[in-house]
Structure 1
Amino acid sequence: MTATRSLSIMGESLPLKTPFRISRGVKNTIDTIVANISESGVTGRGEGIPYPRYGQTVESALIEANSVSHKITEHYGREALLTLLPPGPARNALDCALWDIEARISGQSVASMMGIAKLEPLATAVTISLDEPEVMAKAAAKLAYCPVIKVKVDEHNPEDCIKAVRDQAPKARLIVDPNESWSFDLLDKMQNFLADARVALLEQPLAAGADEALKGFSPAVPICADEVFHSADDLDHIADRYQVINIKLDKTGGLTAAIDIMKQARSLNLSIMVGCMVCSSLSLAPAFHLAAQADFVDLDGADWLVHDRNDGMLLDNGILHPPSATFWGGP
């Protein structure tokens, strides 16, 4: 006899410690949806972050998730979920909750299910949000011992902002993220500077619909596809324009799809960043499992929160520690 399964899905708003500024605007809170799947006395959890850039809201994500709630309670699994919902935060929350409860019922951790012998701490990018160069320099001084720093910029004075951070953090691996705000002319002009500043990665400099100029372009540092990349359907578009893809579970629609995307991307000789939205540790935990096999890790989303989840993940001087088994993914 099949055990009874229940599902609850709710929206939450989580305040940030400081404003998070990028080229498109400022956030002071993040909105999330959380899925809880319960069966046989245990509960699996997953989180999704609706993103206004893609026309998503908490309300739209809840409607999507609830539209398949009867399938989840009827024990439809992760593979079936891929055909029931499109990629996005609703499917991500449900997919990650299904991974979690499968691990708890089976007695096998998610890491073991993925063939990972042991989860080890990872160096993750820590983000300096867009501001005046002197403010960004002060932020960088506090992060100087972190191994990887992400620098948010726009089209105004990006050189000054990057230099301000580099001067304060001479040893850090730098990722520069204009969030679609540059023109191709500015990108071309910045090449020598980016190389001289020892930037390791440039993330989505051009608008997602304006990257045709990247065909045949030989960048001084690798360019990573973020806003332009969502699912496996985008890989053909990416392969002749970018050298790296940023896999975010809220875009792929969960860990299940992301694992397959990573395999396909590797076959196309693309390098991998595993990233996140501003989120809680409940989003970071499943992404951490994927990040164990990535070239770049950008999982500092929970560090922006006033309060993370209870028993959430530890970020210490740019080193992110694995989630506890009781928090997510353990038997």
Structure 2
Amino acid sequence: MRLTARRRVHDLIEPFVIARKAYTEAVVVEVEIEADGAIGRGEAAGVDYRGDTPDRMLEQLGDLSERLDRGERLDREALASLLPPGGARNAVDCALWDLEAKRSGVSATIRANLAPLRTLETFVTLGMDTPQAMGAKARRWTARYAALKVKLGDADDMARLEAIRAAAPRARLIADANQGWTLAQLNDRAPRMAALGVELLEQPLPVGRDDELFDYRGAVPLCADESLDDRADLDRVVGRYAFGNIKLDKAGGLTEALALADAARARGLRLMVGCMEGTSLGIAPALLLAQTCEIVDLDCPMQLVRDVDGGFGYLDGWLRPNGPDLWG
């Protein structure tokens, strides 16, 4: 078995701004695992706010490749003890799923005991900008997209939501504060958000302040994002959030993401699936998880100047499976 990893850089159509930073490109790490004449592929962007950068991922993957060269065994079960949750493990885990499917002739969907993949509506994300600019973009986008996700994180957030709702009166809206609020701001803004028809708010408070949400009774359900990586985080989010946003990069791959979904659901947490920046190669395994989630936010390839060959078709915000040739 041989593992190779390489950095890929994909330009964005326009800068993408969130509360933490601005992005002009998607930098991902692509992994290939070759065994018995078959090649499995996976992709990861990492979790940059945890220091899980492409450089760090490549360092981890280089170490893993050396271990394989020395004859160490690698499968999805062993992987959990070889790499921590994060982008490197995600890329390898997804490559192993792809490799298993190609060697067996049985698709990843069937191997995961899932029904055939359905076409799903994804929320399309509006990066942070002035209220006027975001309202103008929402007006253009709702000619094609019925579900919008709004990035928030400063004093102009309510003006942004009001401008977007005025421009897109029929659109479904969810919002993401990316840890940018205080509890006082949340309690002040939640009733006004509910009046604007906002269905969900992701991660209003910084990680580590989740206990402050015990007494939150606002009309807008809250979703844990940065506070929920894998099953080890369930104790700190259950009872504080209504939803959990599962991302393969955070969980460390499809294997843990599926297990997290089952465990979260068993504890009463409703599910959202999200993504970091990347191509359809990174989205393909997340689409399996998305089949069981209420909220789907898998629009990252739509932001790229050019997706990978064989990428998914996005028609008016609907994510259409295109068979297992790309992955799985």
TM-score by length of 2: 0.96
Query: CA separation in 2, counterparts of 1:138 and 1:42?
Result: 48
Deviation at 1:209, TM superposition (A): 2.1
Residues 117 and 291 of structure 2 are in contact (CA less than 8 Å); yes or no, is this contact kept in structure 1? yes
Equivalent position to 1:130, from 120, 128, 131: 128
Residues 143 and 317 of structure 1 are in contact (CA less than 8 Å); yes or no, is this contact kept in structure 2? no
Alignment partner, residue 117 of structure 2: 119
Instruction: Show CA shifts across 1:75-123 (max 9, x none).
Output: 5210110111110000000000000010011010011111223111100
Query: CA separation in 2, counterparts of 1:147 and 1:215?
Result: 32
Equivalent position to 1:17, from 7, 13, 26: 13
Query: CA separation in 2, counterparts of 1:212 and 1:270?
Result: 16
Percent of aligned pairs with the same amino acid: 39
Alignment partner, residue 233 of structure 2: 234
Residues 47 and 86 of structure 2 are in contact (CA less than 8 Å); yes or no, is this contact kept in structure 1? no
Alignment partner, residue 99 of structure 1: 97
Distance 1:95 1:323, change over 3 A: farther
Query: CA separation in 1, counterparts of 2:111 and 2:17?
Result: 37
Query: CA separation in 1, counterparts of 2:97 and 2:136?
Result: 41
Alignment partner, residue 285 of structure 1: 284
Deviation at 1:71, TM superposition (A): 5.1
Gapped regions of structure 2 (runs ≥ 5): none
Alignment partner, residue 79 of structure 1: 77
Alignment partner, residue 270 of structure 1: 269
Residues 224 and 237 of structure 2 are in contact (CA less than 8 Å); yes or no, is this contact kept in structure 1? yes
Q: Which amino acid aligns with 2:17?
A: R
Query: CA separation in 1, counterparts of 2:113 and 2:313?
Result: 23
SS at match of 2:240: coil
Query: CA separation in 2, counterparts of 1:45 and 1:127?
Result: 27
Residues 191 and 218 of structure 2 are in contact (CA less than 8 Å); yes or no, is this contact kept in structure 1? no
Alignment partner, residue 324 of structure 2: 325
Alignment partner, residue 208 of structure 1: 207
Query: CA separation in 1, counterparts of 2:68 and 2:254?
Result: 17
SS at match of 1:118: coil
TM-score by length of 1: 0.95
Deviation at 1:61, TM superposition (A): 0.6
Instruction: Show CA shifts across 1:244-302 (max 9, x none).
Output: 11000000000000111001100110000000011111110000110011011000011
Alignment partner, residue 149 of structure 1: 148
Deviation at 1:315, TM superposition (A): 1.2
Query: CA separation in 1, counterparts of 2:310 and 2:68?
Result: 27
SS at match of 1:29: strand
Q: How many residues align structurally?
A: 325
Query: CA separation in 1, counterparts of 2:91 and 2:150?
Result: 28
Gapped regions of structure 1 (runs ≥ 5): none
